Structure 1
Amino acid sequence: MSALFPVHIALQMPAHSGVGHLLTYAAGSPLPPGTLVRVPLGRREMLGVVWDSPGDAQALPEGTQLRAVASVLEGITPLPDAWRRLVAFAARYYQRSIGEIAMAALPPQLRELSSEQLARRLKPAKVPKTAAAAQAVAAPLPLVALSAEQQQVVEQIAAGKAGERPFLLYGSTGSGKTEVYLRCVQTALDADPTAQALVMVPEINLTPQLEARFIERFAPQYGAGAVVSMHSGMTGPQRLKSWLAAHTGAARIVLGTRMAVFASLPGLKVIVVDEEHDASYKQQEGARYSARDLAIWRARAQGAQIILGSATPSFESWHASRPPSEDDPQGGRYLRLHMPSRIGAAALPKVRLVDMTQQPKRAVFSPPLMAAITERVQRGEQSLVLLNRRGFAPVLYCADCEWKSDCPHCSAHQVFHKGDRTLRCHHCGFTQRVPVACPSCGNPDILPLGKGTEQLEEELARLLRNVQRPDHEPARVARIDADTTKAKGALEEQLAQMHAGDIDVLVGTQMVAKGHDFRRITLVAAVQPDNALFSNDYRASERLFCLLMQAAGRAGRDADYLLANGSRAEMWIQTRDPQHAVFTALRSHDYPAFAAQQLQERADAGMPPFAYQALVRADARTQEDAQAFLRAASQAARDAQLPGLDDVFLFPPIPMTIQRVANVERAQMLLESLDRTALQRFLHAWQPLLHQLRAQPEHRPLVRWLVDVDPLAI
């Protein structure tokens, strides 16, 4: 009988399943950690990662019967130790299973391909001789001259010790942060022929333009395959190809969204997190990890440099980069670098506040704003109108019986989409036709309440119908949001039209408010930002300020154009509360003053970044069942006197803001502590109790429970 070698395998197992982190199988020969294998689980065969070995078979309990590893994925070298340490840390910190994190980090096609199919994918593609010759003779493009501020920042980063201290690059919109990223990546790649770089962006729509710049800069020197992308919008074969290129070292630069933080990069030397403040870096489904925070941990663990860039840094990063003072001699653990000036001496846009209480009632656009937009169209300039709400109207309403277009499956309204005459729930996806009359009382006069991007597009087209461009063509209004960009290539086509000047006024949500380099926009307007000021989330003011300041940064990015045409960039804000602190700080583009005021409020209230939080959420068929589970969990923790309990405050369970989604009731309980270590120790000890409670008969109606560490929305 041949010898068997027990191995621990990480499989796709959610933390709340209670199965455990690793399962033990028998291999016919020793398998190094990081090896990809297929193993049987029940009647299925699953992809797994060899995590470690418990020793020989004699070390197992007597009578243990192990199932055999089905196959090994030949041709793929084992995943490096640094990658496994990253996954293990993420699982430990975010209270998930190792296999859940590991499998989510691998391309889905690895789970589907046979060994023969994978071998074909691993064969290097044949490069035509003409293309190979063209690559060989291509010369790098000449570098653009750096400004004095850019040069100083590049030198400071070059002088820093890799893995020692994160850099926070605080640069105003249009200050040239991307060129700094390019120079730092170039330095790392030139210094080491095996070096790799990871460049992260918060959203998919920002990837193509950044990818174009990196390919333009690095493809002549390192080849077209040196730059690859990783994001959820790619097909399965595309993701697998990019992952394999990164894992083998063929790809020198990986560009991607939050999932790219788990890319297997054995030669990682530099990480860039662009727009580091963006909430999109926090995963909101499954394992709720922060890609930005994991990138910081990974840089330190792998001895790589990390650069966090933003014109409006998160308060956590801003506080962590505070300079030393008399009261705080140590200062923060990050090093703050500042680039306050725009490239080409372009001025930041002037902020104009319109008090809507002094404007005509029911006016979507105030007369002064419409006059400014009309003037831009007639001069051949572009305008951007921002409203972070898609659809035509948030709700339909009957004035006779007060019926509203509520979703039958969620505690939310169905949004009216006029284009296809549908009511859609943006939470569960339920869609139905718009009724011809009120379903409750039969009144045929049901009205839209509120405004969405679809309504703004229609209203602007009406108001500008007689306005002509300099070429005597009528004004062109377009809209970019999640509804208009569903088709493949639709977003790229619309952005190309915007860059080409074919669109005069662009209406959009936050997806067009950041990262894009539109050269002819001279006016940005925020139509209805006040709703964000009355949120029950303490981060609402921070999010609104960042969004508006990022949106303002789309205006006036081409200094030469402004000078040649005598134009001036402007940001218009229509509000009913022009004296609010957010707008006061925005008028002077004074992020440091706004951050100082908000951080002082948070320090006084004991909120992050001066405290640490976690949410425990329960989903059940009734709100009573969900809250009962959370109350029982809280009491079980107190009865067991769990480690760290004295330093952790458990708030009572409450319904979530939108408490019912897809007929599932949701409740949450907040945990808070001034000591991160105590909170982690408590959560780790609490997990077994949560599994035990879930198995009790009185909690069988529970659908699921989950833990969200460092939540961004409460």
Structure 2
Amino acid sequence: MNIARIALDVPLAGPFDYLATDITENDIGRRVVVPFGPRKLTGIVIDVASTSEYAPSKLKSVITLHHDMPPLPQDVLDTCRFCADYYQHPFGQVIFTGLPVRLRQTAAYHRPPGTHWQLTELGSNQLQGRISARAPTQQRLYATLQSGPLAVEQAQQVAANAPATLRQWAREGWVARCIPPMAEQFPLTPLPALNIEQQAAITAIQSQPGFAVTLLHGITGSGKTEVYLQLIAAELAAGRQVLVLIPEINLTPQLTVRFSARFPNRCIVSLHSALADGERADNWLTAQCGQADIVLGTRLAVFTPLPRLGMIIVDEEHDSSFKQQEGLRYSARDVAVFRARLRQIPVVLGSATPALETYHNAHTGRYRLAKLNKRAVDVAELPIVKTIDTRRLLLQDGLSDDMVNALNARLLAGEQSLVFINRRGFAPVLFCGECGWIAGCQRCSARLVVHLRERQLRCHLCGYEESVPSACPDCGNQDIRPLGVGTQRIEAALTERLPQARILRVDRDATRRKEAFNTMLANIHGGKVDILVGTQMLAKGHDFPNLSLVCVLNADSGLYSADFRATERLFSLLMQVSGRAGRAGIPGEVLIQTQFPDHPLLHALVAHDFDSYAKRLLEERRQAHFPPFLYQAVLRAEAQDLELAIAFLDQAKQFAHALNSPVDLFDPVPAALTRLAGWARAQLLVQHPSRAILQTLLRNWIPQLHTLNERQVRWIIDVDPLEV
């Protein structure tokens, strides 16, 4: 009897040994159902052995072996193993993080049947050797499948028993039902002419076969997407698949439309959390079976099985959305690089404002660098960036007269404008001038945001809501008022001051309904909107040809943060949103209201000089001993009482000291946001210039933390944290 080693979605190291009569090495990567305590759980077979360190009498048996999907390929399992080791997370939970919800359930998944049969990767590798030379019918059927997908109704023409043979092969994972790529309905349009820089970038990326990481550093509007498209075209022509990772769900529809227009005869699927569970599972299986040519997805798509994977593209690679902030705290960008190394394929990291870690790697020779310094449209120039010094100005609802006049001028010229403020709601604070009361969340260390239309106060962190009080709950003063501005307040102010303008607010509140964002984009491109009021949802990836003016409010808030990455994020955000202006033939202008017009960040922004500011920040980090010049991990703890969390971290620090590691250990401190959703939070920072030494400490330290058995404290390790 074989011993199947099973990975389970439980917070334990695993794997777990089970008796398995019919499971062989060919089933590694398949789903099974096993008993685990009083429950039945779905697991993944990761190894098959003949012996176990436990007596057979103590082992339970596998209940069910599912054949509803091909096995997870070895490169996906190896990628999950890397994440488990590097991010210090249970292997089973890593595997199940990458699976669609439907495939985490114990029931078999019945995918809507396709219209054709096709060979799987396993079938291409194994089936020929399994067919007897005395089975000419099977040989003929295999040869037919090698030439491409075989229609279900045509299978019987190959042999009368072909349907039964195909069903048997499907149970072995050698063939799968599929929907073939669409027949070409339109002649392919000729590829747009590339400028010299774009062509040089493509040549550089394609010049080195096998694994290589290339930073495609292009200014906003420089045509990075066109470079992606032509790289993808070359991969598809060679019979390979391409994985494209993007940071925002809202960027998926427009990219899908653009990719579909370029590749009308190819199968393109999306993978992101806004999809229904069934749709996501179908798209995932379409990719796993090799039917999808292009997979377009957010961070979780990095774990998608792709048998013909030829290239990975990470667009807006700097974006913090690629870092998971709960559960398995992985960086999809870094995992993409690891997976590309496993598959020996190229990976392209694209950005107008690369993360400093990526920028440093590109300028020290670890990554290759391809630059796009001019806009792709010949008549398009970078926008003129100006600052409005607000130190001596009286602002009305957060708007200066200069900004309103500029908006009115664009309105009269028939051009579009964007007013950017990265704060939704009406106002961030409800304040009593008599006693100083401020409306705060009962569950978080955060202030409640005023949503005036709904007459509600909302916490944007935990979702807590309450009605706006009619008087101060502390002193009874009825003259409580909102302070500061948000998107709703700006929308109301502009409606009053520019009544003839068609104003559209684009933020998370306005796009909650399904398809709301797509409808808004259609109205913007259709010329039905004069002024956009929006958050960072509009800051990246969007191309509005008629948008000539960008107005930035409340930019100074990013300069106050104690986070050493705050200015990097602010510069990136401002540069991205500035790049929305003047992308076609209309000259663009950017106005930034600030009380710090002489700040180096704004000087670099006015000059469109990312390189000098990035080098300045890198030098500051070198002197301060911050990443990328060392590596960090944070042990985060949560408890109902802050003292419990701190006490847990104190014990953890003592364990770390006992290991005699040369890493730097800092004292436990409350987190910047000390309370979130009712939990008090604290953290302990460890760091060292050597990644290997830090990883050695973590491997020896984490098992000891499990011995503390402090049930009142939740804890997790965050490797390469973005928030310290």
When normalised by structure 2's length, the TM-score is 0.89
The aligned residue for residue 170 of structure 1 is 217
Q: In structure 2, what is the Cα distance between the partners aligned to 1:98 and 1:349? A: 48
Work out which of the residue numbers 352, 368, 373 in structure 1 matches 2:407: 373
User: Are the aligned partners of 2:525 and 2:544 in contact in 1 as well (CA < 8 Å)?
Assistant: yes
**1:394 Cα deviation (Å)?**
0.8
Question: 3-state DSSP class of the match of 1:619?
Answer: strand
After superposition, the Cα gap between the structure-2 partners of 1:128 and 1:509, relative to the gap in structure 1 and judged at 3 Å, is farther
Gaps of 5+ in 1: 323-330, 466-473, 563-567
The Cα of 1:155 is off from its aligned counterpart by 1.2
Change (3 A) 1:447 1:136: closer
Of the candidates 367, 370, 388, which is equivalent to residue 337 of structure 1? Answer: 370
1:22-33 mapped onto 2 (5 Å cutoff): 22-31=15-24, 32-33=27-28
Q: CA deviation at 1:409?
A: 1.4
Q: Which of the residues 79, 104, 121 maps onto 1:111?
A: 104
1:128 and 1:386 mapped to 2: Cα distance?
Answer: 57
What is the rounded CA distance, in whole Å, between the counterparts of 2:180 and 2:310 in structure 1? 28
Residues 1:306 and 1:337: Cα distance change in structure 2 (over 3 Å): same
Matched residue, 2:516: 490
User: Paired residue for 1:569, among 578, 588, 594?
Assistant: 588
Q: Distance in 1 between matches of 2:23 and 2:65?
A: 12
Instruction: Choose which of 696, 709, 712 in structure 1 pairs with 2:719.
Output: 709
Distance 2:669 2:706 in 1: 21
CA distances 1:489-531 after superposition (whole Å, capped 9, x unpaired): 1111111111111111101111111000111100001111001
- Whether the 8 Å CA contact 2:33–2:106 is kept in 1: the answer is no
Partner of 2:359: 318
CA RMSD of aligned residues (A): 1.9
Q: Which whole-Å CA distance do the structure 2 matches of 1:122 and 1:286 have between them?
A: 35
What's the CA shift string for 1:143-193, capped at 9, x where partnerless?
Answer: 111111111111111112221x200001111111001001111111212x2
- The 2-side partners of 1:41 and 1:198 are apart by 36
Asked if 1 retains the 8 angstrom alpha-carbon contact of 2:424 and 2:535, the reply is yes
Give the aligned partner of residue 403 of structure 1.
Answer: 437
Task: Report if aligned partners of 2:425, 2:450 keep a CA contact under 8 Å in 1.
Answer: yes
Aligned residue in 2 for 1:609: 628
1:681 to 682, 696, 702: 696
Residue in 1 that maps onto 2:567? 541
Structure 1 residue 75: Cα displacement? 3.8
The offset of 1:361, in angstroms, is 4.8
Query: What's the CA shift for 1:701?
Result: 2.5
**CA 1:502–1:571: 2 relative to 1, 3 Å:** same
Which residue type is aligned with residue 609 of structure 1? P
Please give the alpha-carbon distance, in whole angstroms, between the structure 1 residues aligned to 2:392 and 2:476.
Answer: 37
Change (3 A) 1:128 1:424: farther
Matches of 2:182 and 2:153, distance apart in 1:
10
CA contact (8 A) 1:219 1:227 kept: no
- Deviations along 1:189-209, one digit per CA (max 9) or x if unpaired, are 212x2x110001101001111
Q: Name the residue aligned to 1:8.
A: 5
> 1:457 aligned to 491, 494, 504, which one?
491
Contact 1:390/1:454 (<8 A) preserved? yes
Q: 1:665 aligns with which of 656, 680, 686?
A: 680
Residue 682 of structure 1 aligns with an amino acid whose one-letter code is L
Task: Give the drift of 1:22.
Answer: 1.3
Conserved 8 A contact 1:75-1:122: no
* Structure 2 SS opposite 1:475: coil
Identity %: 44
**1:56 partnered with 2:50:** yes
When residues 121 and 408 of structure 1 are mapped into structure 2, their CA distance, relative to the original with a 3 A threshold, is farther
Aligned length: 664
CA contact (8 A) 2:213 2:348 kept: yes
Does 2:238 match 1:198? no
**1:425-478 deviations in Å (ceiling 9; x for gaps):** 11211111111111111111111011111111111111101xxxxxxxx31111
- Structure 1 distance, partners of 2:334, 2:591, is 34
Verify the 8 A CA contact 1:175 1:342 in the aligned structure 2. Answer: yes
Q: Which residue of 1 aligns with 2:200?
A: 152
Q: 1:213 aligns to what?
A: 258
1:389 partnered with 2:423: yes
Structure 2 match to 1:67: 60
Shift in alpha-carbon separation, 1:27–1:661, aligned structure 2, 3 A: same
Task: Give, as a single letter, the amino acid of the residue that structure 1 aligns with 2:50.
Answer: D
Amino acid across the alignment from 1:135: A
SS of equivalent residue, structure 1 residue 357: coil
Quote how far apart the aligned CAs of 1:56 are. 1.4
2:265 is equivalent to residue 273 of structure 1: no
Output aligned runs, 1:598-637, within 5 Å: 598-637=617-656
Alpha-carbon distance in 2 for matches of 1:490, 1:403: 37
- Separation in 2 of the partners of 1:93 and 1:121? 39
Contact 2:217–2:353 (Cα < 8 Å) also in 1: yes
> Following TM superposition, by how much is the alpha carbon of 1:219 offset from its aligned partner in structure 2, in angstroms?
2.3
Residues 378 and 137 of structure 1, relative CA distance in 2, 3 Å threshold: closer
Residues 247, 321 of structure 2: 8 Å contact kept: yes
Superposed CA deviations along residues 526-585 of structure 1, whole A, max 9, x for unmatched, are 1110011010000011000000000011001112xx2xxxxx210110000000011000
Distance 1:274 1:626 in 2: 38
The aligned counterpart of 2:91 is: 98
1:639 Cα deviation (Å)?
2.3
| Cα displacement (A) at 1:45 | 1.9
Compute the displacement of 1:705 (Å). 0.3
Which secondary structure does the structure 2 equivalent of 1:219 belong to? Answer: coil
Displacement of 1:133 after TM fit? 12
Shift of residue 26, structure 1, vs aligned partner? 1.4
CA distances 1:597-624 after superposition (whole Å, capped 9, x unpaired): 1100000111100010011001011111
- Rounded Cα–Cα distance in structure 1 between residues aligned with 2:376 and 2:606: 21
Measure the CA separation in 2 of the matches of 1:13 and 1:111. Answer: 12
Equivalence for 1:514: 540
Residue 343 of structure 1: SS of its match in structure 2? coil
Deviations 1:70-118 (A, max 9, x none): 1112142211111100000011101101111110101101134733x52
* Cα distance, 1:136–1:393 mapped onto 2, change above 3 Å: closer
AA of the residue aligned to 2:3: P
Distance in 2, matches of 1:203 and 1:443, equals 43
CA contact (8 A) 2:41 2:106 kept: no
Note if contact 1:617-1:707 (Cα within 8 Å) is conserved in structure 2. Answer: yes
Letter in 1 for 2:278: P
Partner residue, 1:142: 190
Q: Which one is further off, 59-68 or 682-691?
A: 59-68
1:252 aligns with 2:288: no
Partner of 2:75: 82
The superposition leaves residues 644-700 of structure 1 with CA deviations (integer Å, 9 ceiling, x where unpaired) of: x11x1010011011111122100011111000000011001101110011x1xxx44
Go from structure 1 to structure 2 and tell me whether the alpha carbon gap of 1:189 and 1:362 turns closer, same or farther (over 3 Å shift): same
- Paired residue for 1:469? none
Q: Which runs of 4+ in 1 moved over 6 A?
A: 125-129, 131-134
- Which ranges of structure 2 fall in alignment gaps of 5 or more residues? 118-150, 155-178
Alignment-derived partner of residue 300 in structure 1: 341
Q: Which amino acid aligns with 2:669?
A: I
Q: Distance in 1 between matches of 2:348 and 2:243?
A: 11
Question: How far apart are 1:52 and its partner, in Å?
Answer: 1.0
8 Å CA contact 2:180–2:291 kept in 1: the answer is no
Structure 1 Cα separation of the partners of residues 111 and 457 of structure 2: 48
